[in-house]
Amino acid sequence: MSRLRANQITNENANGAPNFPHGLTVTGVVTATTSATTMSQIVVGSAVTANSQGIDVTGIVTATTVKVGSAISMTDSAVSATRYFGDGSQLSGIVADSGLASVQVFTSNGTWTRPSGITKVKVIVTGGGGGGGGGGGSAPQPPGKATLTAPANNKVCETGTSISDTQSNVDFSWSASANTSTYDLKIINLEANTVINKNGLTTTNTTVALNKGAPYSWQITSKNSQTTQTAASDTWKFYLAGASGETSYAPFPADLKSPGSGTTASVNSEGKVKLVWEGSDPDTETSNLKYTVYFDTTDGKQDPSDDHKDLTSQELEVEVESGIYYWRVKTTDGSNVSYSIVYSFRVE
């Protein structure tokens, strides 16, 4: 018999399901709602084996939801897990620290004990910290540039208070700059080329004793304790009044601009270097000043050539060869003179 057709098959007593004591081989699909017999193993072809140890599948299993105990649930869009062990390098979409094996929150100092089996630790710091400038929050802002107020720029200083025949107290003031913790004041005696520093000032004014009858420059550097960035103000000059009744003052020593001292100078196509300086006077118009340039390979003090004397321009081109050169500038207002410091530069 090659085919059996029946609407219903029962046991021989017609009161229950049929028995197949020697087994049953089915080609096609079997659909059943229940099984009255506990089966120790179900084998479906060569791909699926199910028994008391689990389900072993060779190939692809399609399912809408897969659950593993109470810890892991998988759907077609995500994997949800209450615990996770591993480095997490290939994970994405982790929400609310759900991928961490242990989470502990500290609002101040504390101690965390590493769970057994954990080899990597992730620390997250949030919040702005207290008044001491704790971690987190926005980056510190650099300080702003201070605006100088007094002594006035390029003027004879009349505000000094005499404290001896040779010295006067001079009041320095400037406007407060943004994001600034302290200020550094730098004063240079332009005649003697000596420097006075007052650092770490927390106010916008201070008093310094200076020698009378000398030209000075001064500058303020603003600092913020939360960053290494600083901001330098403009540089102002003044002449501290000397002997009583003095009405004429020497020009400020010229400010040498280029080439900078100790630098290697750029030589143009004609084999020349351009010297540039800036002159000013506390009681004479700058346009009335004249300059003499000392330029040599010895010390910057050798007799200048005639074409380097009584210049009205504040720049001069000089012929050079390889070597080290020295230069300085004499400034005159017709009655008084001043000399700049000596700069040196190299030509290669």
Cβ contacts of 239 within 8 Å, gap of 6 or more: 155, 156, 157, 214, 215, 216, 249, 250, 252, 282
pLDDT of residue 138: 76
Q: What pTM was computed for the model?
A: 0.57
Q: How far apart are CA 236 and CA 215, in angstroms?
A: 11
Q: What residue ranges do the domains of the chain occupy? A: 148-240, 252-347
Given this model, what pLDDT does residue 133 score?
A: 45
pLDDT of residue 259: 97
211 with 169: CB under 8 angstroms? Answer: no
- Number of neighbours of residue 114 by Cβ within 10 angstroms: 11
Bridge partners of 218, per DSSP, are 187, 236
Q: Give me the pLDDT at residue 14, please.
A: 79
- The reply to whether 148-240 and 252-347 are identical in fold is yes
Strand order across the beta sheet in which 272-280 lies: 252-258, 272-280, 315-319
Whole-number pLDDT of residue 314? 97
CB contact set of 85 (below 8 Å; sequence gap of 6+): 101, 117, 118
Amino acid symbol at 335: S
| Number of helices followed by number of strands (H, E) in the chain | 0, 24
- Please tell me the distance from the alpha carbon of residue 334 to that of residue 320, in angstroms, as a whole number: 31
Q: Under DSSP, is residue 286 helix (H, G, I), strand (E, B) or coil?
A: helix
The whole-number pLDDT of residue 85 equals 54
By C-alpha distance, which of 321, 342, 197, 224 is closest to 270? 321
**CB-CB contact of 153 with 238 (8 Å):** yes
The reply to whether CATH 2.60.40.10 applies to domain 252-347 is yes
CATH superfamily of 148-240: Immunoglobulins (2.60.40.10)
Work out the number of other CB atoms within 10 angstroms of the CB of residue 184: 16
pLDDT, averaged per 10 consecutive residues of the chain (348 residues), comes to 72 78 69 65 68 70 68 64 55 52 62 73 62 59 96 82 92 96 97 95 97 93 96 95 73 95 96 96 89 97 96 97 97 93 96
What's phi and psi for 47, nearest 5 deg?
-100, -35
